[in-house]
Amino acid sequence: MTPLRLSARWVIPVERPPIEQGAVLVGSDGRIAAVGRDADVPGPAQAERWDLGDAAVLPGLVNAHSHLELTALRGLVRDLPFPQWIAAVRHVKNALGEEDFRASARWGVLESFAAGITATGDTGSSGAAARAMAELGARGVAFHEVFGPDPAQADQAVRELEGGLAALGACESARVAVGVSPHAPYTVSARLVRAVAALARRRSLRVAMHVAESREESLLVERGEGPFADALRRRGLAVEPQRCSPVAWIERCGVLELRPLLIHCVTVDDDGFGAIARHRASVAHCPWSNAALGNGRADLAAMRRLGVTVGLGTDSVVAGGRLDLFAEARMAVLGCPLAPRQMLRLMTADAAAALLLDGVGVLAPGTWGDLTAVSLAAPSLAAAADPEEAVTGCATSGDVVLTVVAGRVVY
């Protein structure tokens, strides 16, 4: 691969102060060879050179949680209480075929590139996201979902999950990992969760799970009541109160010990976040979709205070409407004031750590050459003297002008 050299008014490494009139050199191995002042970074004769001018180069953004296979469903399900919204999404999703999911996931990957996102923690049941990431050169973890609230069907669900994992084996590489995801407490039985946890433990698979997303979920787990419980009983399934929180329930089922990615965590209290931190699990924080779906606000301040690793996620565009991590960061600070660099970390280094991705989320020699460049030409961006403040305070996905994965320009 041809080396790539980017220069710009600012380089923002994230883990150290911004570099004015900076440059980044990505070697032929796809890893960063040098970061520094433009005058100090080598310029090999064979390198492809991009002088981006009035722009900021920063690490490629990391989306801790999305559903790329649902990109084509944007705007189709709106203004419903959360349990009905879930049912409506499932109804629409059931009408899609393999080619629909494939097109939708590819669209999602390309839209992510245009938004500066180079790595994604995706959950889905079709396998289309893993294939799209592999085909188009994205980075990330594709968590293959499994459903099944009927304990009697747990063994069959695990067999189908194993078949799905086998089919996705060809997608795995240094860029793309495949994991597993027992979907959520209202769609899986305790027996199935334990079986998936055992499978993940045997095969060293990464795990993600939607947990504590809504009050209705908490009612189901803690008291065996509410709309999710009613829906399960209408299917003839027994619902017993677990008399514990959703986080405590998945801990009983052996999930927390696997360092999972826990998605949403809106109704978690200090005890729950303490357990998450002790097990070195992480959280995908999706403030925009949490608000859009009326589920409330996850306590980011408590997560940070208790030492939980947190990365920002957009969730699916069905819920949030767009793949814009800059907007997610600004929504996050409404409930937890953060400095600009802390905001940047939530969508770069910290999100990479939440997904257990090594060598991603910072600009430093030896890390992967995943980068994005944001134009500073807009008046709102040009007015800020601090480039980190400009990017976190004013940038949108529409200001992205270049995206690179492992030294390859993808947008």
Task: Provide the pLDDT for residue 7.
Answer: 98
Q: How far apart are CA 134 and CA 340, in angstroms?
A: 32
- Average pLDDT estimate for 46-64: 97
Residue listed under structure tokens 């939708």 = 104
With 80 as the cut, is the pLDDT of residue 381 above it?
no
Task: Give the chain's mean pLDDT.
Answer: 96
Task: Provide the pLDDT for residue 380.
Answer: 77
Task: Provide the pLDDT for residue 228.
Answer: 96
With 80 as the cut, is the pLDDT of residue 66 above it?
yes
Q: Nearest-CA neighbor of 404 among 23, 19, 34, 117? A: 117
Q: How far apart are CA 134 and CA 212, in angstroms?
A: 31
**What is the total residue count of the chain?**
411
Asked if residues 379 and 367 have their Cβ atoms less than 8 Å apart, the reply is no
- Band (pLDDT 50/70/90 cuts) for residue 165 is very high
Task: Provide the pLDDT for residue 375.
Answer: 96
Task: Provide the pLDDT for residue 199.
Answer: 98
Angle at 71 between CA 65 and CA 76, to 5 degrees: 115
Task: Provide the pLDDT for residue 306.
Answer: 97
Q: Is the dihedral of CA 221, 225, 226, 231 positive or negative?
A: positive
For 174-202, how does the pLDDT look when each residue is reduced to its tens digit (9 = 90+)?
999 999 999 999 999 999 999 999 999 99
Task: Provide the pLDDT for residue 410.
Answer: 98
- Band (pLDDT 50/70/90 cuts) for residue 360 is very high
Task: Provide the pLDDT for residue 353.
Answer: 98
Task: Provide the pLDDT for residue 236.
Answer: 96
- A 10 A CB-CB count for 332 gives 25
With 90 as the cut, is the pLDDT of residue 383 above it?
no
Residue type, 206: R
Task: Provide the pLDDT for residue 205.
Answer: 98
Q: How far apart are CA 285 and CA 266, in angstroms?
A: 9
Task: Provide the pLDDT for residue 339.
Answer: 96
Which CB contacts under 8 angstroms, 24+ apart, belong to 299-303?
299/268, 299/269, 299/273, 299/335, 299/336, 300/332, 300/335, 300/336, 301/335, 301/336, 302/269, 302/270, 302/273, 303/265, 303/273, 303/276
Task: Provide the pLDDT for residue 379.
Answer: 83
Q: Is the dihedral of CA 15, 298, 73, 182 positive or negative?
A: positive
Q: Nearest-CA neighbor of 127 among 157, 95, 166? A: 166
With 80 as the cut, is the pLDDT of residue 374 above it?
yes
For residue 182, the cross-strand partners are: 146
Residues 6+ apart with CB under 8 A from 234: none
For 272-321, how does the pLDDT look when each residue is reduced to its tens digit (9 = 90+)?
999 999 999 999 999 999 999 999 999 999 999 999 999 999 999 998 78
Higher pLDDT, 384 or 210: 210
Task: Provide the pLDDT for residue 141.
Answer: 98
Task: Provide the pLDDT for residue 232.
Answer: 96
Q: How far apart are CA 340 and CA 116, in angstroms?
A: 18
Task: Provide the pLDDT for residue 382.
Answer: 74
Sheet with 309-312, edge to edge strand ranges: 208-211, 261-264, 282-285, 309-312
With 80 as the cut, is the pLDDT of residue 234 above it?
yes
